[in-house]
Structure 1
């Protein structure tokens, strides 16, 4: 069992060889009833994806090839225990698969239902039809445990050529289930199965307002959470009942807050817009700004008035960036010195979005990488130059990695020979991250852009670049070095 558990763990992580070994181990374990029962429990607990892959491993794709590890014990052929039935249902012979599908355990042992679903998309019509017949019986009446085993498999196999029938069978079973059973399936651990159950429930109107609100606030799947909020918002609008969505405004999900706020604004409650103008989520801020405009006011005025004594400066700066102008730059500049890195980064980003040019070169040495990334993006977008001597100094080994990387990005944006020199300087740097970036950039330039580079190598750089190339030739590779030497020699 230790071996089987280890192989299941490795197979879940995508190790194909472990999957083949697991198939062989199960074929050996099937001879012992107790071991077979434990092994089946482990495989079942691993989830639907493993059974789908294991089905292929038990039946190698190469015609005429038989994996010596996969040798069915006689007990598997006699189907003397549930694991034996499962293995027989995954065998090569279509007649044997059909026989296994019709075994009484297939309809009564929940652990075998994933295999039954696989056979419901079998390429042999007789096997497929028999599997669909048995599966229909197993889901009559719909049982929570059976549905939680079937639905995740049916959702995945619906993508196959013959998968539509089994997906529709699962859908109809969910529709026939009572409310408690349907609620249990919506709480299954498998994400795709849970999402399918939610969608079926929503389309059929099988969730009341309390359930919709609870799912919109607490469901872990963002898609299902947003869909429940969307349905509840539609009910609030149709019934002119804003109280149905007011509690959704406290959701941690931006998409849920947007659905709730949109519904309230459409119901005439535009006053809610002011509460969310400084929301950290862009989609929520934009919705709030729309609400304020419907009141005939300019949301930019709100940001201008609040920004001086801001508690949530990040959200206010972002909001000003949404709807302000370059003339608002003076309101942003003081926040470049905020002690909080995220606020400084948002201030730099806001200047870029406003199109306001400012002296940001000094912030290239900011201790926070998030700030320096925004500084580089702003300098590049607004075309604000930094003295090249300053960038060469920042490229040196005495600075943190994020500062050196920023200097490198700004240097490679200049002329080709500045780019080559910067790449060569870092090509054998002790910092492997920076070194790899430089070598990759140099190789890409040589293969893609060198043929169209017509700028002559400046005389004052020619000797330095040649010496640098000699020093790092082993690091950059023979092909890149040959192209660069030719460019240096020919003067182009």
Structure 2
């Protein structure tokens, strides 16, 4: 049992060797009734994929192959317990699989329903037809527990060639069940199963306003949450009922907020747009700008007014909004925020300057203590073209600098000519920072594989001597093959 518990998780994740070992362990406990029940309970808690992965492992992979450790246990032919029924239903012999499907436990034990679902897509027509008949009988009186066990498995079987039939049976069962049971299935732990239950519920109109609002505000699955918001928005538009979506404006999901605000604007309620001009979600911010324009306002002017005095909370969203609809003349507003104490605000100010096409000296920010700021500064400098003197970048590459500063200098130096790139790589490769050593080694390997043969620029004599010296010190880090290629290139480019 300890082996079974240890192997369940890797088996559910699709590790074939773990599945093979788990299959042997199951055959080892199936003859003991108590252990067989315990093992089946463990499998049931492993999620909907465990039987899908275990099914092929219960049969020898090569025709005629027999593993003594997976020999048919005496309890399996006798079908003396639920685990034995499940193992027999996964047998290589189609007659044994069909016999297992006739066992009463196959239609009454919830733990066996995933195996029954898998047999509905069996490659043997007789087994498949019988499994579908049993499944149809089971689903006539299926309760919430049965449906919660079946839905996550059948959704995954839809990916198979013959998965349509069982999926349609389960869909019809969900439509026949009462609202309380359908709501229970929508709360199942499996994301794909929950999403399928929501799809069926929404298509059939089986969710009222309170349920739709609760799901749009609290459902963990963003797809289902957005679909519920879309239904509420459609109902609001059809019935001219803005109150249906007003509550959704406070959702933590940007997609839901966008659906709500879009519906309100189409209903003529444009006043809500100004409230979300500083939203950090781009799509919501753009929707808010559209709402302000529909109301006759100018969002760019509103951003200027709010950013002119030092903005506190919401400064990042206001800066991003200015980047959405401002002009190059607004760069001075963004420049003031390059000294803001909040790293995210400084990073946004850099992004805005880049988006507005404004030219600004950002070299000092290459030594910013926040990596997010430095990354954006590098992007802005690279977009504007070489503007930082190489001597300053070489100084920033020194080992006395923080890692993110050295990495930024490396990115800017490797974007120049080939010999500067090689020198920067060798400097990092000869250092003590393992992360930067790996970065430099990978870049050198890429250059040797892709660019070395087409680099025709002559290497200056004084630089060649320096590169060879750096290579001698970093050869252990870059590898023998890369070092050999570099020496050959440096020799032929004399």
TM-score in terms of structure 1 length:
0.98
**Is structure 2 residue 256 aligned with structure 1 residue 256?**
yes
- Per the TM alignment, residue 38 of structure 1 is displaced from its structure 2 partner at its CA by 0.8
Q: Secondary structure at the match of 1:305?
A: helix
Q: CA RMSD in A?
A: 1.2
**Cα gap change, 1:358 to 1:384, in 2 (>3 Å):** farther
Residues 312-331 of structure 1, C-alpha deviations (whole Å, 9 max, x = no match) = 10010011111111111100
Q: Distance in 1 between matches of 2:114 and 2:24?
A: 20
Q: Secondary structure at the match of 1:24?
A: helix
- Per the TM alignment, residue 355 of structure 1 is displaced from its structure 2 partner at its CA by 1.1
Q: Is the 8 Å Cα contact of residues 11 and 54 (structure 2) preserved in structure 1? A: no
Q: Which residue of 2 aligns with 1:180?
A: 180
Q: Secondary structure at the match of 2:70?
A: coil
**Is structure 2 residue 29 aligned with structure 1 residue 29?**
yes
* Runs of 5+ consecutive residues of structure 1 not aligned to the other structure: none
Q: Distance in 2 between matches of 1:483 and 1:182?
A: 66
Q: Which residue of 1 aligns with 2:75?
A: 75
Q: Is the 8 Å Cα contact of residues 142 and 174 (structure 1) preserved in structure 2? A: no
| Aligned mate of 1:357, from 341, 344, 359 | 359
* Runs of 5+ consecutive residues of structure 2 not aligned to the other structure: none
| Aligned mate of 2:443, from 441, 444, 449 | 441
Q: Which residue of 2 aligns with 1:59?
A: 59
Q: Which residue of 1 aligns with 2:328?
A: 326
Q: Distance in 2 between matches of 1:317 and 1:68?
A: 70
**Is structure 2 residue 418 aligned with structure 1 residue 413?**
no
- Per the TM alignment, residue 14 of structure 1 is displaced from its structure 2 partner at its CA by 4.6
- Per the TM alignment, residue 384 of structure 1 is displaced from its structure 2 partner at its CA by 5.0
Q: Which residue of 2 aligns with 1:402?
A: 404
Please show how residues 312-323 of structure 1 align to structure 2 within 5 Å: 312-323=314-325
**Is structure 2 residue 458 aligned with structure 1 residue 465?**
no
Q: Which residue of 1 aligns with 2:342?
A: 340
Q: Which residue of 2 aligns with 1:302?
A: 302
Q: Is the 8 Å Cα contact of residues 248 and 256 (structure 1) preserved in structure 2? A: yes
- Per the TM alignment, residue 97 of structure 1 is displaced from its structure 2 partner at its CA by 0.3
> Number of residue pairs matched?
492
Q: Distance in 2 between matches of 1:60 and 1:373?
A: 53
Q: Which residue of 2 aligns with 1:9?
A: 9
Mean alpha-carbon deviation: is it higher for 215-224 or for 465-474?
465-474
- Per the TM alignment, residue 101 of structure 1 is displaced from its structure 2 partner at its CA by 1.0
Q: Is the 8 Å Cα contact of residues 397 and 407 (structure 2) preserved in structure 1? A: yes
Q: Which residue of 2 aligns with 1:157?
A: 157
- Per the TM alignment, residue 17 of structure 1 is displaced from its structure 2 partner at its CA by 2.1
- Per the TM alignment, residue 13 of structure 1 is displaced from its structure 2 partner at its CA by 4.7
| Aligned mate of 1:368, from 364, 367, 370 | 370
Structure 1 runs (4+) deviating above 6 angstroms are none
Q: Is the 8 Å Cα contact of residues 142 and 176 (structure 1) preserved in structure 2? A: no
Q: Is the 8 Å Cα contact of residues 357 and 384 (structure 1) preserved in structure 2? A: no
- Per the TM alignment, residue 244 of structure 1 is displaced from its structure 2 partner at its CA by 0.3
Q: Is the 8 Å Cα contact of residues 352 and 378 (structure 1) preserved in structure 2? A: yes
TM-score in terms of structure 2 length:
0.98
Q: Distance in 2 between matches of 1:223 and 1:446?
A: 45
**Is structure 2 residue 243 aligned with structure 1 residue 243?**
yes
Q: Distance in 1 between matches of 2:351 and 2:251?
A: 26
Q: Is the 8 Å Cα contact of residues 30 and 73 (structure 1) preserved in structure 2? A: yes
**Cα gap change, 1:268 to 1:461, in 2 (>3 Å):** same
Q: Which residue of 1 aligns with 2:479?
A: 477
- Per the TM alignment, residue 477 of structure 1 is displaced from its structure 2 partner at its CA by 2.2
Q: Is the 8 Å Cα contact of residues 101 and 116 (structure 1) preserved in structure 2? A: yes
Q: Distance in 2 between matches of 1:117 and 1:128?
A: 10
Q: Is the 8 Å Cα contact of residues 278 and 315 (structure 1) preserved in structure 2? A: yes
